[in-house]
Amino acid sequence: MITMDLLAINFSLGLEKLLLIGAIITFSLIVAMYTTYAERKVAAWMQDRRGPNRAGPFGLLQPAADGLKLFFKEEIIPLTSNKTLFVLGPALAMITAMLTSAVIPWGSSIELFGRNISLQIADVNIGILYVFGVVSMGVYGIMIGGWSSNNKFSLIAAVRGASQIISYELAMGLSLIALLMMTGSLSLKTIVQQQMEGGWNIIYQPLGFLIFLICVFAECNRTPFDLPEAENELNFGYHQEYSSMKLGLYLFAEYVNMFISSAVVATLFFGGYDIPFVDETALSLSLGANTVALLGFAALFAKILFFLFLFIWVRWTIPRFRYDQLMDLGWKKLIPLALANMLITAVVILWLNK
Amino acid sequence: MASLTNRVKVLEQKPMSFMERLYLPAIFKGMAITFSHMFKKKATINYPEEKRPFSPVFRGLHVLNRDEEGRENCTACGLCAVACPAEAITMEAAERKTSEEHLYREEKYAAKYEINMLRCIFCGLCEEACPKDAIYMSETFAPSNFTRKGFIYAKDELLIPNPVTDKEKYEIAKGLREAQLKNK
């Protein structure tokens, strides 16, 4: 009977998930589009300038103009490059950037046409491991792009990118282990639900959050960790030989990555779709479950926007690390700190449970 | 080593304290500074809509002047061309006929008068050299064109509008000129 259930193809469930996937991908692409606009605007404001204000009201059509420009540019594939890999690079970067959104709970669930639709594509019980796996794949976009370009700058950038992401992934994983010891679950939905009841994880894991945040900056190749694309030393690094929309995909993947990383940070440490200071179950009785689910999504989105702003804010404040300083910070500071954090958390948990 | 001047400042090179080595306080301080800049007055001027106020001695594109009766002031003496360090001005003189007394103020006039705006360095020496107050520099600037030839301004582009036949345009141009002179 159970096997029959598993084998039976549930068409409405499939359609529901397909629509959800489409909605989330469209949403993250639009957000990424306007993050490029926000980046330029915020950068301008922080430098006492005005930023783009010619295309449309307040320059709101600027991202569309940029995208259109990239589409119309001539596409150049260098003669000496490895063509298959050269095309594969940006595609991989984009795909891995989009994949992570599958396990993030974007909200609780809504009732539509008599169906209870969960606002999460897949509630995998190894959600965080999945995120880590996909994020590690992201380095292939950089490595393949840098290698296949057959250019020294690109190659150096690829090597830098790979070593940076591997180094910071360690500290990232270690900082999360402390969190997982507390939650006892790898499912992102469970983690959010626990935070709704027991307060946000940032209260219990401030050090873990700090380490995780720094590592997220490094994983996204954002300043101060943007060594793989350092304009002024490596000529844009791994995307130096790219042109047209292939370059666009690389640049865009960075913004999608930022969006998804912000969502992961908000989910793990800031309660995900939890509305602060509000009891959701009491609210859903008076407003209805659907409204509360949408409000929860709005709360998550507000948290994501804050982190996106933080990404931009930090970029226009802090200069880039030197390569040895980067490695120093990763291996000699963050990893021992994360280990200490793990140890302290373990001791406290054991002590409270005695 | 004894210092050569009394302005030497000895740098203290203490090892960094723990708080300094954390870097985070410094980073937060920097972020506070950049955040405060978001609300400061912008230095940019939205050019075509907004224009920067000019100084009274601003030197823009040239204008050839007329008197109140609409007669050209220029007598083609060539002093401006001689004064021009960039050799941007060329002219050809001609003698006024009796029937042309309403067009030119004196017996001699410039039949051809050209300024190459690509050569011109807008130094204003032509304006200073002119004994007849025939050439002056306006507040118009940033000429644009599709060809290099288009930057050679002939008389039809340089002359101020005729105060007799084209009074309205002349008043506008004159107003600018008057304000300029008053400020000088």
Smallest Cα–Cα separation from A312: which of A218, A217, A219, A189? A217
pTM for the full predicted model: 0.79
What is the DSSP-derived secondary structure letter of residue B150? G
Residue numbers in B near A314 (CB within 8 A): 31
Alpha carbons A257 and A228: distance in angstroms, whole number: 15
Residue of A nearest to B24 (CA): A210
Q: Which CATH architecture has domain B62-183?
A: 2-Layer Sandwich (3.30)
Q: What is the pLDDT of residues A106-120, one digit of tens each?
A: 877 777 777 777 777
ipTM of the complex: 0.77
| Tokens 């300024």 -> residue | B115
What is the DSSP-derived secondary structure letter of residue B138? -
Q: pLDDT band at residue A1, thresholds of 50, 70 and 90?
A: very low
Alpha carbons A106 and A117: distance in angstroms, whole number: 12
Both tokens of residue A274? 């939890």
Count of C-beta atoms within a 10 Å radius of residue A176: 23
Which run of H or of E encompasses A45? helix A11-46
Residue numbers in A near B35 (CB within 8 A): 46, 313
Minimal CA separation from A64 to chain B, in Å: 22
Q: What is the pLDDT of residues A279-324, one digit of tens each?
A: 777 777 777 778 888 888 888 899 999 999 999 999 889 888 888 8
Helices (H), B38-78: none
What's the average model confidence in pLDDT over B57-61?
A: 85
Q: What is the pLDDT of residues A237-265, one digit of tens each?
A: 777 888 888 888 888 888 998 898 899 89
Residue A50: alpha-carbon gap to chain centroid = 28
Whether chain A has a CB inside 8 Å of the CB on B36: the answer is: no
Enumerate the domain spans of chain A: 74-353
Alpha carbons B58 and B108: distance in angstroms, whole number: 30
Residue B42 has its nearest CB partner, among A50, A313, A316, at A50
| Mean pLDDT of chain A, nearest integer | 85
Residue numbers in B near A46 (CB within 8 A): 34-35, 37-38
Alpha carbons A235 and A247: distance in angstroms, whole number: 14
Does A49 sit within 8 Å of B38, measured CB to CB? no
Alpha carbons B80 and B89: distance in angstroms, whole number: 7
Residue of B nearest to A53 (CA): B46
What is the DSSP-derived secondary structure letter of residue B152? E
Q: What is the pLDDT of residues B72-106, one digit of tens each?
A: 888 989 999 999 999 999 999 999 888 888 888 88
Select, from the ranges A40-44, A128-132, A247-251, the one with the highest average predicted confidence (pLDDT): A40-44
